[in-house]
């Protein structure tokens, strides 16, 4: 049987992206933080759009929005696709929202063109991935996959002291919040966002990097999402007078830190791709021009797609830091603050994406995602896949974030073709 030509209406997707971008706090770019009026407005707008396109719409207790296209074979297993709609402060209009707009467009196109699928398709607009308002990430998909159970909501607060639970309640969410009658038959508990009915998860996203643009590849087929290790580091020496303390008698915390950061960069370069390591924040105490620094605090962010290599690099780096501190008469405190495992994508789905690219005449490259995505939470739960499209100059989390309409349309049609294959072709 000849495969159908997939030509989803990119204009509909681009219009939806522009309409979503209008839900933003004042300022450059798009700012749509979790449980703010801008976020609430965007989620309500999406519910209206999904319902208007004939999808069965529901929300869960934390505010995730879903639009369902029911399949004729009632297997109880859903093919879920989508992304998140929250943003960083002064972010772009493509990060996350592109995956949602494309998924809505794809499901509507498939239903209009081919009728009901064999397997149920569902689009998700997750309520949070970035962690820009509250000090946690993946709150939306984390509740769906069981990473969170809602118990953190009372103890986590934003910079203004508003707890996650208070913010949820202000939006009419939380335990006893908005539910629908279909939830009892779809694997969702009465007051829980946890889902047990998801059979596959597919996410389309801008790359947020420069590899696709540099290699002139139209599509990135993600092989894995890198695991992350984050640490806070405190180096303590002795604060003393900058003019009266001889160089040989100093216990300079900043000088020791500088040697550690040079070792970090050198070790990461020697380890090679896809490992990356970053010291993102540094605080010097007392921070006075005529005082030798007595204490320095800094952060580490280390990422790799292979767990063993990530762990061995972190262990070797910690040993190198301890050696530097001991030699300089400094004390070292290295505290882990985040540990996420690498998330391999499903190889059968990766292969299907590559075949679709070949059939559509699109260039592609296999790649690792250094950034975190909702897909990494689903990968341990069910087969998962990610599709990337290029980001101009690799810029993201910025008003300058941009992917061309042609690049966005290519990703849409690859996603749509995969959903057709998974939901419409008999296995």
User: 152-209 pLDDT, tens per residue?
Assistant: 899 999 999 999 999 999 999 975 444 343 443 344 433 589 999 999 999 999 999 9
What is the pLDDT at residue 213? Answer: 97
How far apart are alpha carbons 103 and 80 in whole angstroms? 9
User: 318-343 pLDDT, tens per residue?
Assistant: 999 999 999 999 999 999 988 888 99
Dmax (CA) for the chain in angstroms is 86
Residue 69: asked if its preceding bond is cis (omega within 30°), the reply is: no
Ordered by where they begin, the domains of the chain are 10-225+342-424 (3.40.630.10), 227-340 (3.30.70.360)
Which residues are annotated as part of the binding site? 84, 95, 130, 205, 230, 290, 303, 397
| pTM, to two decimals | 0.87
For the chain, helix (H) and strand (E) counts, in that order, are 11, 16
Q: Over 50: is that where the pLDDT of 57 sits?
A: yes
DSSP state of 382: S
Residues 156, 150: contact at Cβ < 8 Å?
no
Which residues are annotated as part of the binding site for Zn(2+)? 84, 95, 130, 205, 397
User: 28-54 pLDDT, tens per residue?
Assistant: 999 999 999 999 999 999 999 999 999
Which residues are annotated as part of the binding site for allantoate? 230, 290, 303
Q: Which residue, 334, 426, 403, 313, is CA-closest to 92?
A: 403
Mind giving me the DSSP string for 72-124?
A: SS--S-EEEEEEE----TTB-SSTTHHHHHHHHHHHHHHHHHH-S-SS-EEEE
**Secondary structure class of 278 (helix, strand, coil):** strand
User: 375-421 pLDDT, tens per residue?
Assistant: 999 999 999 999 999 999 999 999 999 999 999 999 999 999 999 99
Token pair listed for 339: 């540990």
Token pair listed for 351: 């292969």
In this structure, how many other beta carbons lie within 10 angstroms of the beta carbon of residue 17?
19
The residues near 104 (Cβ < 8 Å, ≥ 6 apart) are 13, 16, 46, 49, 50, 53, 55, 67, 123
Residue 286: asked if its preceding bond is cis (omega within 30°), the reply is: yes
Residue for token pair 């309640």: 169
- How high is the mean pLDDT of the chain? 93
- Give backbone dihedrals phi and psi of 91, rounded to 5 degrees, phi first: -90, -165
The distance of Cα 319 from the centroid of its chain, to the nearest Å, equals 31
Helices (H), 272-404: 307-327, 347-360, 375-378
Residues 270, 215: contact at Cβ < 8 Å?
no
User: 248-294 pLDDT, tens per residue?
Assistant: 999 999 999 999 999 999 999 999 999 999 999 999 999 999 999 99
How far apart are alpha carbons 294 and 296 in whole angstroms? 7
Residues 306, 342: contact at Cβ < 8 Å?
yes
Residues 422, 119: contact at Cβ < 8 Å?
yes
Sign of CA dihedral 187, 193, 195, 198: positive
In this structure, how many other beta carbons lie within 10 angstroms of the beta carbon of residue 73?
14
User: 75-105 pLDDT, tens per residue?
Assistant: 779 999 999 999 999 999 999 999 999 999 9
């Amino acid at each position: 049987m000849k495969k159908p030509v997939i030509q989803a209406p990119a204009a509909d997707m681009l219009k939806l992206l522009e309409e979503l971008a209008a839900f933003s706090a004042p300022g450059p770019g798009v700012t749509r933080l979790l449980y703010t009026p801008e976020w609430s407005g965007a989620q309500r707008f999406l519910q209206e759009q999904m319902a208007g396109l004939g999808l069965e719409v529901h929300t869960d207790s934390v505010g995730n929005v879903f639009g369902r296209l029911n399949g004729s074979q009632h297997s109880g297993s859903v093919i879920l696709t989508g992304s998140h709609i929250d943003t960083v402060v002064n972010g772009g209009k493509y990060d996350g929202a592109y995956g949602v707009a494309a998924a809505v467009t794809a499901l509507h196109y498939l239903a209009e063109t081919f009728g009901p699928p064999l397997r149920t398709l569902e689009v998700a607009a997750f309520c949070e991935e970035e962690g820009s308002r509250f000090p946690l990430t993946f709150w939306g998909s984390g509740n769906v996959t069981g990473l969170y159970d809602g118990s953190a909501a009372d103890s986590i607060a934003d910079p203004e002291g508003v707890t996650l639970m208070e913010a949820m309640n202000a939006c009419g969410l939380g335990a006893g919040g908005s539910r629908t009658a279909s939830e009892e038959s779809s694997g969702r508990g009465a007051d829980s966002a946890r889902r047990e009915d998801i059979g596959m998860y597919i996410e389309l996203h801008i790359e947020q990097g420069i590899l696709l643009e540099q290699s002139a590849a139209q599509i990135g087929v993600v092989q894995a999402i890198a695991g992350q290790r984050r640490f806070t580091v405190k180096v303590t020496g002795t604060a003393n007078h900058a003019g009266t303390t001889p160089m040989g008698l100093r216990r300079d915390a900043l000088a020791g830190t500088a040697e550690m950061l040079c070792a970090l960069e050198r070790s990461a370069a020697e380890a090679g791709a896809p490992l990356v390591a970053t010291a993102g924040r540094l605080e010097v105490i007392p921070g006075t021009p005529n005082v030798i620094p007595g204490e320095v605090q800094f952060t580490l962010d280390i990422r790799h797609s292979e767990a063993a290599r990530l762990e061995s690099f972190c262990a070797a780096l910690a040993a190198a830091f301890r050696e530097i501190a001991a030699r300089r008469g400094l004390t070292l405190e290295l505290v882990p603050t985040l540990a996420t495992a690498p998330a391999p994508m499903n190889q059968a789905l990766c292969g299907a994406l590559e075949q679709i690219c070949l059939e559509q005449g699109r260039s592609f490259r296999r790649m690792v995602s250094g950034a975190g995505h909702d897909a990494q939470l689903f990968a341990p739960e069910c087969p998962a896949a990610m599709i990337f499209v290029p980001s101009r100059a690799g810029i993201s989390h910025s008003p300058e974030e941009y992917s061309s309409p042609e690049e966005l349309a290519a990703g849409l049609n690859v996603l749509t073709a995969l959903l057709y294959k998974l939901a419409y072709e008999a296995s």
